[in-house]
Amino acid sequence: MTGHLKILDQRVAIITGAARGIGLATIKLFAAAGASIVAFDLPQSPLEDAIKMAKDYGVPIRTFHGDVANATDWKKVINETIDQFGKLDILVNNAGVSGFIGSMLEYPDDVFDQVMAVNARGVFLGMKYAGQVMKSNGGAIVNISSVSGIGGGRYVMAYTASKHAVVGMTKLAAAELAMFKIRVNALCPAPTATEMMFEMARTQSPDDPDAIRRGMERMIPLGRYGEPDEIASAILFLVSDAASFITGTAIPIDGGLKAS
């Protein structure tokens, strides 16, 4: 396929949570932009759609099955990236889980640790091990936080804690890694039309999952969920040279939710 500016030509990118949702939409835009891609997701999450998108745009792709909460997996994926492509320019820390939904007074202790491991520790490990190799050539990191990373809300205690942690780590990493010409930014999306939201709605309201969506959409000034492609577009901008003076930010991408 043609028709897209190849603004990521010669760039090598790792994208986590690449099997579906925002991660898969990011694979599509990065492939259209000419990037060489490493798609990272859990062993049980097929990456065939990611492979197909890369093939459609004629860009090289490597897949990696592992757990972002596991340091050994990060060392492996970075080593494989360097073996295959010789460098790393871009990391998108997108993998995430929502965890328990309900009162903080009932929040299961072990689920708190599991959510923090994926959403916070996973982002830390990614930035640490990617940063160690990116420092030789510079690059860009985008961490996917959430509107739950910049506000309180209700019922998703560990998710909110972990997404606030992502914003804090983004700012620290931006300050520390600027000397290596590595930019680090976070995006804070409002509800976006992916399986993560659909699953949460089915759990919260099994008889009428759409009621959850309608309720959320009433709170968003633009009156709708975001689309995965809209989040991916912002990721593409932040990793591109068009954002060359932007680092350390946590940008809401939320249809106006946080403005109202």
Ligand X SMILES: NC(=O)c1ccc[n+]([C@@H]2O[C@H](COP(=O)([O-])OP(=O)(O)OC[C@H]3O[C@@H](n4cnc5c(N)ncnc54)[C@H](O)[C@@H]3O)[C@@H](O)[C@H]2O)c1
* Residues with active-site annotation: 159
Burial class (CB in 10 A: 0-12, 13-18, 19+), 184: buried
Separation of alpha carbons 181 and 218, rounded Å: 41
From residue 149 to residue 188, what is the string marking binding to ligand X with x (rule CB under 6 A)?
A: ----------------------------------------
Report yes or no: 100 and 155 within 8 Å, Cβ to Cβ. Answer: no
Separation of alpha carbons 22 and 188, rounded Å: 12
* Range in contact with ligand X (rule: CB under 6 A) among 14-22, 80-88, 103-111, 132-140: 14-22
Distances (CA, A) of 34 to 53, 131, 211, 233: 12, 22, 40, 14
Q: Is 9 in the site for ligand X (CB under 6 A)?
A: no
Q: Which of 8, 11, 13, 16 binds ligand X (CB under 6 A)?
A: 16
**Residue 208 DSSP class:** -
Shorter beta-carbon distance to ligand X: residue 72 or 244: 72
Shorter beta-carbon distance to ligand X: residue 42 or 167: 42
Q: Which of 7, 78, 115, 118 binds ligand X (CB under 6 A)?
A: 118
Q: Which of 9, 113, 176, 195 binds ligand X (CB under 6 A)?
A: 195
Which positions from 34 through 53 interact with ligand X, judged by CB under 6 A?
41-42, 45
Alpha carbon 235 to its chain centroid, in Å, reads 9
Q: Which of 51, 71, 97, 133 binds ligand X (CB under 6 A)?
A: 97
Q: Which of 21, 99, 252, 255 binds ligand X (CB under 6 A)?
A: 21
Shorter beta-carbon distance to ligand X: residue 133 or 193: 193
243: left (phi over 0), alpha (psi -120 to 50) or beta: alpha
Other Cβ atoms within 10 Å of 244 Cβ, number: 10
* Range in contact with ligand X (rule: CB under 6 A) among 3-11, 94-102, 175-183, 242-250: 94-102
Report yes or no: 185 and 217 within 8 Å, Cβ to Cβ. Answer: no
Q: Which residue has the tokens 């804690």?
A: 161
Q: Which of 99, 126, 131, 191 binds ligand X (CB under 6 A)?
A: 191
* Range in contact with ligand X (rule: CB under 6 A) among 107-115, 134-142, 192-200, 237-245: 192-200
Burial class (CB in 10 A: 0-12, 13-18, 19+), 60: middle
Q: Please, what is the angle between helix 71-85 and helix 122-134, to 10°? A: 30
Binding residues for ligand X, per CB under 6 A?
16-17, 19-23, 41-42, 45, 67-69, 94-97, 118, 144, 146, 189, 191-192, 194-197
